[in-house]
Structure 1
Amino acid sequence: MSGIIGKKIGMTSIYGVDGRNVACTVIEAGPCVVTQVKKEETDGYSAIQLGYEERKEKNTPKALQGHFKNAQTTPKKKLAEFREYEGYDTFVDKFTLGQTVTIGDVFEEGDYVDVAGSSKGKGFQGVVKRHGFGGVGQATHGQHNRQRAPGSIGGASYPARVFPGMRMAGRTGGDRVKNTNLRVLKLIPEKNLLLVSGSIPGAKNSFVIIEK
């Protein structure tokens, strides 16, 4: 398989094979359940849909309740599709509805993975925090209370408008971010834990997609 759904637990550090202390992120990955098998002849493309983490039935829409019932599994909080596998044309035949997928089925120590998730939301922020502005005049020459102001944003009579893409204050964070080429440092299958080098997007307990 090419990937699995997980949840960010936090960060720690371990000693690598070369004796160096390496910062890493702990991810609880799986076990996931196959909730749908898509095939070229019926859906137009081949893919496996996985579900992760239990969800209360009373909080699950009726349409999704039927979807999970067809897969003979309980409702799940997070669903994701994976399309790229070894043996792309025939991989869907290897999976059945309700089948459980664990990290041991997907990853080995030493693999390189991409981890995607939603970055931490920071709300409405000014240009200093959002874009790294230095403030008007780098906070010199008596700017008083305008050190963090954006300054001029456009001309007056010409062009008489603000160009698209102008870096201004606005909503920050909460975007989909993918960190690539992170090395799998350690697997702990009995606890469904995956340790990858470096940091990954999102807050603690947020969902992430791990792909080979």
Structure 2
Amino acid sequence: MSGLLGLKQNMTTRFGKFNFKIPVTAIEVDPNVVLATKDDKLVIGMGKRNQVKKTDNAYVKVAGYTPRFIKEVKWLTQSQNEEQKNNQPKVGDKITVSIFESGDEVKVTGTTKGRGFAGVIKRHGFHGGPKTHGQSDRHRAPGSIGSGTTPGRVWKGKKMAGHMGASKYTATGLEVVEVNQDKHLIYVKGAIPGAKNGFLIIEKTGKVKGYTPPPPPHPNGDHPLDEKEEKQIEKAATAQITEVKTDDAEIDKEPVSLVVAKGEENAGK
């Protein structure tokens, strides 16, 4: 399976090796229903809504209700063999987050937050004009947008103020840090586009290069020890620690007269 539909939730943190914090985004992926099958693609739906569109009547008969989101995702790739093609889900089957696992590389497509009409500083990162030398109310202006006679117009694609956000965006090369099958959640490393409860398409692209599975949890809740720390602990455990007796009754003390005689000899020198 290459993709599923989900809803963006909040951002949080997870702990990796040696308790390093990893910023992750939680994605809620309820079971996706297969509504139709094509050559190498599936039409899947997620969620539920009350109103029924005429174009969705065929899907309502399959799912038994009207899905809130309906999308066509790729199921097979050129590298997959005939056995996987035979295991293709059938109409009416439900696909869960179990198709993902830690270490998978995914790309997430969503709709960015709408920012309305934005200026060039916010929209394109312009630095603005100088604050002195007679400048007045032009601190955030774009400046010149072209010459006069030649070409006598503004070039297409010129970065100017305009509508910002509310557009389709795909974040690639993201790592799946954790999968919670009980709560239908996927934790993806980093930020992804969209607002909370925004619609997302999560597509698997492969495995993260150089990925190593997370270490098993330590009984004490701490991170597992590396080789150097284990050797130090073994050395301390095998070493014979001698106890020093500190009881005054067992310590031989010199007579007081001998101590006084030694003091007089030192004074005479």
Same fold (TM > 0.5): yes
Cross-structure match for 2:34: 34
**Secondary structure at 1:68's aligned position in 2?**
helix
Query: Cα deviation per residue 1:156-201 (whole Å; 9 max; x = unaligned)?
Result: 2221111111111111011211111211111110110111110000
Structure 1: which amino acid aligns with 2:36?
Answer: Q
1:69, distance to aligned residue in structure 2 (A):
2.9
Q: Is the 8 A contact 2:3 2:74 kept in 1?
A: no
Amino acid at match of 2:106: V
Q: Which whole-Å deviations, capped at 9, do the CAs of 1:61-109 have from their partners, x for residues lacking one?
A: 1221x122342431111112122425377637622111111001x1011
Map 1:114-125 to 2 at 5 A: 114-125=107-118
Is the CA contact 2:42–2:75 (under 8 Å) kept in the aligned structure 1?
A: no
Q: Which residue of 2 aligns with 1:82?
A: 73
Q: Which structure carries more strand by proportion?
A: 1
Q: Secondary structure at the match of 1:50?
A: strand
Aligned counterpart, 2:253 = none
Runs (4 or more) in structure 1 with deviation over 6 Å come to none
* Aligned residue-pair number: 201
Amino acid in the other structure paired with 1:27: I
Residue in structure 1 matched with residue 169 of structure 2 by the alignment: 177
Aligned to 2:102: 109
Kindly tell me: are residues 91 and 18 of structure 1, through their superposed partners in 2, closer, same or farther at Cα, counting changes over 3 Å?
farther
* Correspondence for 1:69 among 56, 60, 68: 60
> Of 51, 55, 68, which aligns to 2:45?
51
Which of residues 128, 132, 140 in structure 1 aligns to 2:125?
132
Ranges in structure 1 where 5+ consecutive residues have no aligned partner: 40-45
Find the aligned partners of 2:169 and 2:125 in 1 and give their Cα distance.
19
- Note the residue ranges of structure 2 that are not aligned, 5 or more in a row: 205-269
Q: Deviations over 1:20-54 (max 9, x none)?
A: 01110000012110011113xxxxxx310110111
Q: 1:79 to 1:72 in 2, by over 3 A?
A: closer
1:164 maps to what in 2? 156
| Alpha carbons 1:38, 1:92 under 8 Å: kept | no
Correspondence for 2:210: none
Shift of 1:141: 2.1
Q: CA-atom RMSD, angstroms?
A: 1.7
In the alignment, residue 38 of structure 1 is paired with which amino acid?
K
Query: Counterparts of 1:26 and 1:32 in 2: how far apart (Å)?
Result: 17
Specify which structure has the bigger relative contact order, considering alpha-carbon pairs within 8 angstroms and separated by 6 or more residues.
Answer: 1
Equivalent position amino acid for 2:21 in 1: N
Segment drifting more, 140-149 vs 193-202: 140-149
TM-score (norm 2): 0.70
AA paired with 1:13? T
